[in-house]
Amino acid sequence: MSETVPDLLVRDLAQVATAAGREAPLRGADLGSIEVVEDAYVLCRGGRIDTVGRMRDLPAIDGDVEELDGSGLCAIPGLVDCHTHLCFAGDRVAEFALRAAGATYEELHAAGGGILSTVRATRAAGAEDLRAAVERHRGWMRRSGTTTFEGKSGYGLDHDTELAQLEAVRAAGGVPTWLGAHALPPEFDDRDAYVDFVIGDVLPEAARIAEAADVFLERGAFDAEQSRRYLEACGAAGLTLRLHGDQFTESGAIPLAVELGARSVDHLEATGAEGIRTLAASGVTGVLLPASALFLDRPMPPARALVDAGAAIALATDFNPGSAFCESLPLVCSLACTQLHLAPEEALAACTVNAAHVLGRAERLGRIAPGFLADLVLLDAADWRHLAYHLGGDLVHAVVERGSAVWSRGA
Ligand code: NIG
Ligand code: FE
């Protein structure tokens, strides 16, 4: 790759803001430790960050370099969305209207709608349609500053559609996660039998495409024993383990995540004091999804208590058609500050460094530092904290991936 990417100088930036140090995941006071360089440049060579510094210290540069004028703009690391369900067909706008009229998400799911209505649409779509859907959603994310995304399966729940979802995520450059245990499909009436089926018939091929496995451990989905059986088999096949847990009820997700050495447990809207203590004392990262809590009018996760107790947290969109039709990490940062009581500094680290850690990429993604992949977002503001301050704002001016401008406003 490196020979073909022209060098890029982003110059005259009002600020460059990035998490300090090289550690990941960041916890406690370190989560809020952001370095800001004023009147700055970023030099990218061969798709990686070469140097970052003050304009007055900019050295003479050999060879051809493309330039990007950063006057009045800030650069932050490309945002990392470590929890999305972007591979789906159809939409759930009719259910959204029913929820607005008072129906709950769990009631719609129990009546055969919810996740299962997206399963019907996704099974009916062909592999090409799924690829097109991922590309479309990925484009929305990029325009909001996301340069790295994870994408889960879980809307197929049969052999072919689960694998087609994982392939579609991988083809678009995403990080595929196999969510084989998301819901019970209509052709099964027994959850244990379904878990047997996915372990026996889907896991061997899913493990060749996916990097991680995920399960929906929840009342009405899979219980702790079924989740354990699924995750143990996935771990034995070499997959990193993740869980959807404590979304509506505390049903044992945190203890299971800690016991199995999972990378993350995600949602945590229902997590209480004991769960906070257990997670904080562990190596498992809590992925917080405030857009989902907002979209479903549910309580927000106890983010402040988790950070203060020393837990590692990340932020993500949970982009999906049912519980969070939201692709914007800047909006999630706004919710983190206004609803989760995080500082803008903590929000930035949570959707860059710590999200990269959840995806196993923190040594090369999530920071603007020499040697890191040159993924940048240029914000249309002279103070980077507008990332969270501008609620729902259209503040992404340009997106650089691997040292190339891949999107800019008005281009
Ligand atoms: O993370 N809770 C489980 N899964 C998704 C929602 C999927 C859907 O509603 O389609 C979530 O919220
Ligand atoms: Fe999710």
Task: Report the nearest atom of ligand 1 relative to the CA of 324.
Answer: 12
Residue 102 to residue 82: CA distance in whole angstroms: 31
Q: Give me the chain's average pLDDT, please.
A: 97
Residue 224 to residue 242: CA distance in whole angstroms: 13
Per-position pLDDT tens, the chain of length 411: 445 788 999 999 999 999 999 999 999 999 999 999 999 999 999 999 999 999 999 999 988 899 999 999 999 999 999 999 999 999 999 999 999 999 999 899 888 899 999 999 999 999 999 999 999 999 999 999 999 999 999 999 999 999 999 999 999 999 999 999 999 999 999 999 999 999 999 999 999 999 999 999 999 999 999 999 999 999 999 999 999 999 999 999 999 999 999 999 999 999 999 999 999 999 999 999 999 999 999 999 999 999 999 999 999 999 999 999 999 999 999 999 999 999 999 999 999 999 999 999 999 999 999 999 999 999 999 999 999 999 999 999 999 999 999 999 988
Query: How large is the angle between the packed helices 224-236 and 253-260, nearest 10 degrees?
Result: 20
Q: Is the CB of 296 under 6 A from ligand 1?
A: no
Could you tell me the distance, in angstroms and rounded to a whole number, from the CA of residue 323 to the centre of ligand 1?
6
- Identify which of 105, 108, 115 to mutate to test ligand 1's pocket (most ligand atoms within 8 A of the CB): 115
Count of beta carbons in the 10 Å neighbourhood of residue 1: 10
Could you tell me the distance, in angstroms and rounded to a whole number, from the CA of residue 371 to the centre of ligand 1?
36
Could you tell me the distance, in angstroms and rounded to a whole number, from the CA of residue 74 to the centre of ligand 1?
34
- Plot region of 184 (φ>0 → left; ψ -120 to 50 → alpha; else → beta): beta
Per 3-state DSSP, the chain is made up of helix, strand and coil in percentages (nearest 5) of 35, 25, 40
- Strands 376-379 vs 396-401: parallel, antiparallel or unpaired: antiparallel
Residue 361 to residue 401: CA distance in whole angstroms: 15
Q: Is the CB of 118 under 6 A from ligand 1?
A: yes
Q: Which two tokens stand for residue 248?
A: 């509506």
pTM score > 0.85 for this model? yes
Report how far apart, in Å, the C-alpha atoms of 188 and of each of 111, 184, 195, 205 are: 16, 7, 10, 21
Name the CA radius of gyration of the chain, rounded. 21
Nearest to 214 by CA among 240, 194, 243: 243
